[in-house]
Structure 1
Amino acid sequence: MTTFPTLPASQLVQRLEHPGRKIRLVLDTDAFNEIDDQFAIAYALKSADNMTVEALYAAPFFNELSSGPADGMEKSYQEILNIRRILGREDIPVYRGSTGYLPASDQPVESEAARNLVNRAMASDPADPLYVVAIGAITNVASALLMEPRILERIVLVWLGGHALHWSDTKEFNLFQDLHASRLVLDCGVPLILVPCLGVASHLQTSLSELRDFVKGQGEIGDYLFETYLSCSDDHFAYSRVIWDIAVIAWLNNPEWCPSALVHSPRISEDFRWMHDPLRHMIRSVHFIRRDEVFRDLFLRIAR
């Protein structure tokens, strides 16, 4: 069984506060799985006043868009390269992630991304932790924690995963894909900012007409995001779509747009429900998102 260091409660709570300054981060994304990752990558790279993106990691995924987690990761890797090219940010390194999910709770999956995260985190000053922003299955991050548990003292994890803590279940795509990894990040004591999907990030809905007005024509990236949204449905009449993944970047840009609270880290049951335990360590959980403020900020940044 892997033994993780324990942060003193006061230090953990301090790490769970919004940084209130410019931060360094790595972004772990299953970029080919949905259309929202592309928005999130662009949002992060356009937020240079608040964050420096040091690396991009490709996360695995498996659904109708891939033949398996390895194929999903590779397609995500290629999509990250594409977004990076469009934004003219070839200076940011991109790393391939896990080709499969954790086979057991104490068995990491070796990958370029997990190894880079270990090295980058261990090179960080504990007083200036590396922010690990994850918008896919949490396999790469969990693997890095298992490879080198001491990185727990040098990172803050911001993860889009699960559903709202009051939801009837938490069978959400990012969390559901790799139960071992999801349990690990909730159990090990890593400073965790949790941004749930249904009931929280689901407020972030937009429409084709809104993107036509405020994103299309705003450079190559604006046109790409608009065309990506256009192609996601054959019928846009009375249709809107959630751009989930921008929620994590929004919290970093302005926590007032994403009200949150300290809660005890929940457990995940075998049937994918939250189990609340008042004896557990604390995490921060976002419980609402001010949709208009977030999209206003996103649109203004894309137009720059």
Structure 2
Amino acid sequence: MPRPLVLTTDCGAEVDDQWAIAHQALAPELDLRVLVTTHTGSHKLPGDSASEYTASCARDVLDNLPLAVAAPEVLAGSPIPLASADKPEAGAGVDRIIAEAASFDSENRLAVLAIGAVTDVASALLLDPTLAERIEVIAMGFNEWPAGGDPFNVRNDVAAWQALLRSDVPITIGGSDACKRHLIVSLQQARSRLTRGAGPYMEGMLSDWVLAHEKLCRFVTGDAESWPIWDEVTTAHLLDMTEVATYPRPGLADDTSFVQDEGGERPPIRWVTRVDEERLWTHFEALLAGA
């Protein structure tokens, strides 16, 4: 039976969300029920709000895929981060997360993926703490264990991550460390592999982004024509293509660094240490080709 999931995303902030959305929507092993789009913190994007803009970007991706079934619904989530770790932002995205999780329990959890700010996920848990008994969170964020730190997803709503880590919800994190080791894709690789079906569409998005950000690509990867597809770490985990380590649940400082020995009796976190990238990209390539 396909694994049910809800995806929260800041699609359009760069290019990795688009790849993750496409992979999760096409994978027969997964049941992507709804996408909740989020803001991108201080990064200004065009449109009525950042979350409305990211919703438009997500719909565009879905419209260009060879889907065998109807595309999942896309909802614009919170357009702003939490004011503090105890003040939720109510909205349609939060309501949908709570509703989707209603039929699940601690033995059969709904996967809630966070590949942007976790504003809507944290708000849902703050409004309904029993949600921690029915969902698990799989997120892309943070630089490394045990230091933490983050330049984007976590930094875009630190208070939301503080609330998430203070809750009892199971959390698996795919950090930048594993993504840099396993998920860097060069333009040459993308052009040689993504040649059929919707492959050229996905390759084109990567090419456009990389060629417009050569300096950043060189800084992050050492190569002006390569970039990590960060958010695919969450897809890989759902598809059982990762290895993980278990660590004590940390607290989170305002500068996004982890504060150790704050976990108390709360559940540990899981940290992705390895991704089977060859299996992941072969799987994605076949789905895009319509195979």
Band the TM-score falls in, shorter-chain normalisation: 0.7 to 0.9
* Cα distance in 1 between the residues matched to 2:41 and 2:252: 21
Partner residue in 2 for 1:102: 82
Post-superposition shift, 1:290?
Answer: 3.3
Paired residues of 2:199 and 2:285 also in contact (CA < 8 A) = no
Per-residue CA deviations over 1:2-40 (Å, capped at 9, x if unaligned) read: xxxxxxxxxxxxxxxxxxx74210111111111011100
Query: Quick check: 1:223 aligned with 2:200?
Result: yes
> AA paired with 1:269?
A
Partner residue in 2 for 1:206: 185
Q: Secondary structure at the match of 2:274?
A: coil
Partner residue in 2 for 1:253: 239
Partner residue in 1 for 2:220: none
Computed over aligned residues only, the root mean square deviation of the Cα atoms, in angstroms, reads 2.1
Per-residue CA deviations over 1:227-260 (Å, capped at 9, x if unaligned) read: 1111111569852111101110101112xx3211
Paired residues of 2:98 and 2:131 also in contact (CA < 8 A) = yes
* Cα distance in 2 between the residues matched to 1:270 and 1:44: 32
Post-superposition shift, 1:276?
Answer: 2.0
CA 1:238–1:118 in 2, change beyond 3 Å: closer, same or farther? Answer: closer
- Runs of 5+ in structure 1 lacking a partner? 1-20
Q: Secondary structure at the match of 2:60?
A: helix
TM value normalised by structure 1 = 0.84
Partner residue in 1 for 2:256: 272
CA 1:301–1:202 in 2, change beyond 3 Å: closer, same or farther? Answer: same
Per-residue CA deviations over 1:155-186 (Å, capped at 9, x if unaligned) read: 1111111121144x512311111111011111
Query: Quick check: 1:291 aligned with 2:277?
Result: yes
* Count of aligned positions: 276
CA 1:122–1:71 in 2, change beyond 3 Å: closer, same or farther? Answer: same
Paired residues of 1:195 and 1:285 also in contact (CA < 8 A) = yes
* Cα distance in 1 between the residues matched to 2:72 and 2:256: 36
- Runs of 5+ in structure 2 lacking a partner? 218-222
Paired residues of 2:41 and 2:80 also in contact (CA < 8 A) = no
Partner residue in 1 for 2:161: 182
> AA paired with 2:3?
I
CA 1:45–1:153 in 2, change beyond 3 Å: closer, same or farther? Answer: same
Partner residue in 1 for 2:135: 155
Partner residue in 2 for 1:128: 108
Post-superposition shift, 1:135?
Answer: 0.4
Task: Give the 5 Å matches for 1:35-184.
Answer: 35-48=15-28, 50-64=29-43, 66=45, 71-87=49-65, 88=67, 90-167=70-147, 169-184=148-163
Post-superposition shift, 1:123?
Answer: 3.1
Identity of aligned residues (%): 26
* Cα distance in 1 between the residues matched to 2:12 and 2:49: 10
